[in-house]
Amino acid sequence: MSDEESSPQRVAIGISFGNSNSSIAYTTSEGRAEVIANEEGDRQIPSILSYVAGEEFQGTQAKTQLVRNPKNTVAYFRDFLGQEFKSIDPTPCHQSAHPREHESTVAFSIKDTESDDENIVTVSEITTRHLRRLKNSASDYLGKKVNAAVITVPTNFSDKQKESLSKAASEAGLEVLQFIHEPVAAVLAYDARPDAKLSDKIIVVADLGGTRSDVAVIASRGGMYSILATAHDYDLGGALLDQAVMDHFAKEFIKKHKTDPRQNDRSLAKLKLESEAVKKALSIGGSASFGVESLADGIDFTSTINRTRYELLANKHFASFTRLITHAVEKAELDVLDIDEIVLAGGTSHTPKIASSLRNAFPPTTSILAPSTSPTAINPSELVARGAAIQASLIQEYETEDIEQSTHPMVTVTPHLRASIGVLCISGSESQGLFRPLIDAETPAPVRRTAQFATPKEGGDVLVKICEGVREIKVTRAEKPQTNGRKEDDEDSEVDSDDEPEEVREKVWRVGKVLAEAAVKGVKKGGKVEVQVNVGPDLAVQVIAREVGGKGGVRGSIEKPAVVENGSA
Amino acid sequence: MATALQVSLPLPVLPEGWSAEKDFKAAGTLSSATQRIVEPVGPHFLAHARRKRHKRTFSEDDRIQAQENVKKVEDEDAGDISEPEDPLMLQRDAKDWKNQDHYAVLGLSKYRFRATEDQIKRAHRKKVLRHHPDKKAAAGSTEDDSFFKCIQKATEVLLDPVKRRQFDSVDEHADVEPPSKKQTQKGNFYKLWGPVFEAEARFSKTQPVPKLGNEKSTKEEVEEFYNFWYNFDSWRSFEYQDEDVPDDNENRDQKRHVERKNQNARKKKKTEDTARLRHLVDDALSLDERIKKFRQQEHAQKNKRRIEKEAETKRLAEEAAKAKEEEAKLKAEREAAEKVEKAEGKKAKEAAKNAAKKNKRVVRGSAKDANYFHAGGDAPPSQIDAVLNDVDLIIAKIDNEELALLTSKLNGKKDAGEIKVIFAEEVARLVSAGTLKDGEAKSFA
Ligand SMILES: Nc1ncnc2c1ncn2[C@@H]1O[C@H](COP(=O)(O)OP(=O)(O)OP(=O)(O)O)[C@@H](O)[C@H]1O
């Protein structure tokens, strides 16, 4: 597509850049996305830089510096980029270099050179240094100089934030080909799997990180994604779970040694690091051991905790994750029954209890893609970076101008159907016929869909009645069945075993506007009828109905609605 | 798209008489669409973009125009949550968190129990952005981080559903004092009491709670309302006001003592609260004009029924009296008639008697006229006696009518033979009727 002129060959990767961790990924020549391990073997590279006597450490090495050298360690800075000091929340930086106001931006005062003087280093500069390290790690791994990237950002990253990030990246020698939204990258990572089947579905992506949680409700239609609603929580994340573990061990320590390891910065930092490790271990094992040398007052401390205990300690937070996710569904004006899939992304999504809580809050028709609920789930920590790598491979041949034009609102802003379009089966009467959707609501126009319908036993003349359908939730109160046939999940079932009659909720179709009727005549016994509905960019509709294998067929068109909101080209 | 969707439900049979030009008829247009952004990601989007661009170049103006009606999916800034901060509040000591107004600390005074989780989170963030100790240091303020801790505590309480209920239970600022009787009588009952009940409704386990309504509410609605409030199921509890339980393990008895004390206090407060609410509902009920109105209406209804009933009784009584009168009148008339009849009967009887007397005289006279059936000369006395005896026998045996008939037959008859025949016939008639025995009255034989 592009004619490579002056610029050298592009080598593009995908980068997920979080407040807690970053990942780099690339797409193999076979089209598989893979996350790259850095020199230390980490695929989740802590977004932390630390300076010791002028030497720069990054990632896990920098993270360990939080204990000894917190003042010269910069962490949790992504969300400060492109922001004014007054609109940032410095809370995550309590145990590292504190952000401060510098001109119109945010900066850190750190000793980043051999000299003993503190320098003011802006968040842009820190970002540049971090990205440069990431770029170098990728280049080392790939054996060629990486010079471009698709970087993921939260759905509510402002233009100003993107601009700052873009600048910081280019300072690091990275051309940002495109910013893509984190939840969309996660969905793309799943859809790009070779065995993935394309289907229309509503997906909730819950990106549960270290300092924040972001949820997006996405309509996936023919491989195109539209965000219907989002919810953000800047206090909910893995750090809260660490805190629960910390408090638990701190109390144990106090009981034994009468001193609170949380009172001393260094002890606190050790406690935090080990608590996080314990928490991660509990995602896989039933119990985990805690051990810190010289936790406080020179006392070594070891202990263990089992998963049940941990889940009890953090129960309140687990409930908050579920509520945030159901809240996003409400914001999209949808019902839990509408959700086909929940994609759990972000490091915290490894937590089994989060997935099982969601399992209880959503109907069995919702598949939950998390390591503990689905054997085919992709590592949630890698999802976003993988999606970015796939997008990078798709567009790296494009000229910059081309990418810009392709992502222009004239292209991206599209009318989305309000109601589903479908056909009445069994009866042509609007009250008796059964609506079968052909095109789901929230599908962007233009769109074309085809379906084949059975016909009455004897064949003959059939009616193709095309209507709009509106999904409704039917609630029936059924007396509680004596046995519900479940055996395994006894402990879960007591949650809903109050004496209220059980509510049965189901999705039903209400037939809305009738759009058109067509007759297909003389269908032979056992024949099928194929109906194709083609919605144009202006919402005019073309219909073709014909017997499968038969000749001719019926064609007709439905005019576009009188008021089409603007935006379609 | 790849393979066509397969639907196993059959299409309906074409209805009888359906027809259309080229077998197709359009009936309506699509509902208007929502303008949304398709995420510019993935191979299918790139294909879409290729089709949509047709090698055109879009400008900055196009961008603005295209974005005009796009449905927003990100929230705006928490601008709706802002209220001035009371300087006194900013000096609060976080240790005294039990006595702080958590809603005021977060700037949610006007929302209180109505604040959503989302609002609380956003309010919290807004406060953190302003009051984080790092911000204060930057502003050169020496203020400690006490208020920041207040913010954290407020958020901790309000975002924990259990703790929030405990606080809401004792959040006096959300209470609406019921108006006095005087105030109520001077003012608008619904305006004054509506908010009272709305505030109390927050404690209801059953939601939604029926509203007080207004003067147009129906009797059923009003009844439902008071029924609901008299059967109020409240989650209000009072552990928030517990005395602190000593934390040390040494003083176990003291600990248990405080715990027991707390338990009792909670129970007592709960009982008092139930009574308070009952009282409040009683007051409202007693001041509720609708109750009076419904009672009056009921009263009027009853009255109407009573009046109707009375009228009915009256009518029935009148009817009965009339009937009685009529009857009396009839009776009187009948009696009068009877009297007349009687009188007339007497006369007739007398007349008949007289007539009979006359007739007897005629009959007897006829015997005399016939010379007692003695042929020639004066009839011997024995004959006269015998004849007169027989005549009297006949007379005695016949009634007045027969007598009259006999008389009429005899009237004017002078001929002895003829008279004798008449008598003989009469005797024969009487004998055949069994009135006379054969052989009696032989004078006429
Ligand atoms: N196996 C695991 N089990 C539980 N938690 C985990 C696991 N692995 C990572 N985490 C947690 O995930 C969090 C980091 O998530 P992630 O790597 O997605 O961060 P991020 O995207 O940078 O997040 P943010 O920007 O919100 O800080 C940390 O709190 C970490 O402890």
User: pLDDT by residue (tens digit) across B302-322?
Assistant: 888 889 898 989 999 999 999
Q: How many whole angstroms separate alpha carbon B336 and alpha carbon B338? A: 5
Q: Give the pLDDT confidence score for residue A22 in this predicted structure.
A: 98
Distance in Å, alpha carbon of B86 to nearest chain A alpha carbon: 21
Q: Give the pLDDT confidence score for residue A497 in this predicted structure.
A: 47
Q: Does B185 map to a domain?
A: yes
In this structure, the answer to whether residues B133 and B193 fall within a common structural domain is no
Q: How many whole angstroms separate alpha carbon A209 and alpha carbon A47? A: 12
User: What letter does residue B4 receive in the DSSP assignment?
Assistant: P
Q: Does B1 map to a domain?
A: no
CATH of domain A3-173+385-411: 3.30.420.40
**Rg of the Cα atoms in chain A:** 28
- Test B30 with A562 for CB contact under 8 angstroms: no
Pocket test for ligand 1, best of A19, A21, A93 (most atoms within 8 A of CB): A21
Pocket test for ligand 1, best of A15, A16, A17, A20 (most atoms within 8 A of CB): A20
Kindly state the tokens that stand for B230: 């008299």
Give per-residue burial for A392-406: e unless 16+ CB within 10 Å, then b: bbbbbebebeebebb
H helix runs in B132-204, sequence order: 133-138, 146-158, 161-169, 181-186, 189-200
Q: By CA distance, what is B248's nearest residue in A?
A: A255
Going by C-alpha positions, the residue among A243, A325, A316 that lies closest to residue B160 is A316
CATH of domain A420-467+515-558: 2.60.34.10
Q: Give the pLDDT confidence score for residue B432 in this predicted structure.
A: 83
Token look-up 């401390």 returns: A301
In this structure, the answer to whether residues B158 and B77 fall within a common structural domain is yes
Q: Give the pLDDT confidence score for residue B78 in this predicted structure.
A: 54
In this structure, the answer to whether residues B93 and B165 fall within a common structural domain is yes
The DSSP H or E segment spanning A313 is: helix A307-313
Q: Give the pLDDT confidence score for residue A566 in this predicted structure.
A: 45
pLDDT digits (tens, 9 = 90+) for A326-385: 999 999 999 999 999 999 999 999 999 999 999 999 999 999 999 999 999 999 999 999
| Backbone phi and psi for residue A367, each to the nearest 5 degrees, phi listed first | -90, 140
Number of domains in chain B: 3
Q: Is the CB of A349 under 6 A from ligand 1?
A: no
Strand, coil or helix: B3: coil
Q: How many CA atoms lie within 13 A of B29 on its CB side?
A: 12
pLDDT digits (tens, 9 = 90+) for B227-269: 999 999 999 999 999 888 877 666 788 888 889 999 999 999 9
Q: Does B116 map to a domain?
A: yes
Q: Are A47 and A75 in contact (CB under 8 A)?
A: yes
Q: Give the pLDDT confidence score for residue B149 in this predicted structure.
A: 92
Is A335 buried (19+), middle (13-18) or exposed (0-12) by CB count in 10 A?
middle
- Test B68 with A566 for CB contact under 8 angstroms: yes
Kindly state the tokens that stand for A122: 């802006």
User: Which has more confidence, A221 or B57?
Assistant: A221
Which of B173, B206, B226 finishes a domain?
B173
Residue B202, pLDDT above cutoff 70: yes
In this structure, the answer to whether residues B109 and B191 fall within a common structural domain is no
Domain segments of chain A: what residues?
3-173+385-411, 196-235+317-381, 238-315, 420-467+515-558
Q: Give the pLDDT confidence score for residue B305 in this predicted structure.
A: 87
Going by C-alpha positions, the residue among A386, A237, A217 that lies closest to residue A314 is A237
Q: Is the CB of A371 under 6 A from ligand 1?
A: no
How many Cβ atoms are within 10 Å of A262's Cβ, its own excluded? 19
Token look-up 């935090």 returns: A272
The CATH-assigned architecture of domain A238-315 is Alpha-Beta Complex (3.90)
Q: Give the pLDDT confidence score for residue B346 in this predicted structure.
A: 79
CATH code: domain of residue B436: 1.10.8.840
Which of B149, B173, B197 finishes a domain?
B173
User: What letter does residue A78 receive in the DSSP assignment?
Assistant: G
Q: Are A190 and A369 in contact (CB under 8 A)?
A: yes
Give per-residue burial for B431-442: e unless 16+ CB within 10 Å, then b: eeeebbeeebbe
In this structure, the answer to whether residues B370 and B386 fall within a common structural domain is yes
Banded pLDDT at B426 (limits 50, 70, 90): confident
Tell me the pTM: 0.80
Q: Atom 4 in ligand 1: which residue has the minimum CA distance?
A: A280
- Test A413 with B37 for CB contact under 8 angstroms: yes
Which residues of chain B have a CB within 8 Å of the CB of A566?
Answer: 35, 65-66, 68-69
In this structure, the answer to whether residues B263 and B368 fall within a common structural domain is no
Tell me the residue range of the domain where B412 lies: 357-444
| Backbone phi and psi for residue A247, each to the nearest 5 degrees, phi listed first | -60, -40
Q: Are B30 and A563 in contact (CB under 8 A)?
A: no
Residue B401, pLDDT above cutoff 60: yes
**Closest Cβ opposite residue B33 in set A445, A513, A516:** A445
Residue B144, pLDDT above cutoff 50: yes
Amino acid in position A77: F
Peptide bond into B10 cis (omega under 30): no
Domains A196-235+317-381 and A420-467+515-558 share a fold: no
**The CATH fold of domain A196-235+317-381:** Nucleotidyltransferase; domain 5 (3.30.420)
Q: Does B37 map to a domain?
A: no
Give per-residue burial for B59-95: e unless 16+ CB within 10 Å, then b: eeebeebbeeebeebeeeebeebeeeeeeeeeebebe
In this structure, the answer to whether residues B266 and B216 fall within a common structural domain is yes
Ligand 1 mean position to A380 CA, how many Å? Answer: 9
In this structure, the answer to whether residues B181 and B169 fall within a common structural domain is no
- pLDDT below 50 — which residues of chain A? 1-6, 484-497, 564, 566-569
Q: By CA distance, what is B18's nearest residue in A?
A: A519
Peptide bond into A446 cis (omega under 30): yes
Going by C-alpha positions, the residue among A485, A479, A478, A217 that lies closest to residue A366 is A217
Residues in chain A: 569
Ligand 1 mean position to A372 CA, how many Å? Answer: 16
Q: Does B386 map to a domain?
A: yes
User: What letter does residue B134 receive in the DSSP assignment?
Assistant: H
Ligand 1 mean position to A353 CA, how many Å? Answer: 15
Q: By CA distance, what is A97's nearest residue in B?
A: B134
Q: Give the pLDDT confidence score for residue B397 in this predicted structure.
A: 83
Which of B173, B207, B240 finishes a domain?
B173
Q: Does B300 map to a domain?
A: no
Token look-up 């008279």 returns: B419
CA angle A478/A483/A485 to nearest 5° reads 110
Banded pLDDT at B1 (limits 50, 70, 90): very low
In this structure, the answer to whether residues B138 and B182 fall within a common structural domain is no
Q: How many whole angstroms separate alpha carbon A210 and alpha carbon A17? A: 12
Which residues of chain A have a CB within 8 Å of the CB of B41?
Answer: 180-181, 184-185, 188, 225, 387, 391
Kindly state the tokens that stand for A138: 């990728």
Q: Does B376 map to a domain?
A: yes
Q: Atom 18 in ligand 1: which residue has the minimum CA distance?
A: A346
Q: Give the pLDDT confidence score for residue B366 in this predicted structure.
A: 80
Which residues of chain B have a CB within 8 Å of the CB of A204?
Answer: none
Angle between helices B117-131 and B146-158 (to 10 degrees): 170
Ligand 1 mean position to B410 CA, how many Å? Answer: 155
Q: Give the pLDDT confidence score for residue A536 in this predicted structure.
A: 94
pLDDT digits (tens, 9 = 90+) for B110-137: 899 999 998 999 999 999 988 888 887 7
Q: Give the pLDDT confidence score for residue A491 in this predicted structure.
A: 47
- Test B7 with A423 for CB contact under 8 angstroms: yes
Q: How many whole angstroms separate alpha carbon B79 and alpha carbon B77? A: 5
Banded pLDDT at B396 (limits 50, 70, 90): confident
In this structure, the answer to whether residues B145 and B105 fall within a common structural domain is yes
Q: Does B220 map to a domain?
A: yes
Q: Give the pLDDT confidence score for residue A74 in this predicted structure.
A: 98
Q: Give the pLDDT confidence score for residue B336 in this predicted structure.
A: 86
Amino acid in position A328: A
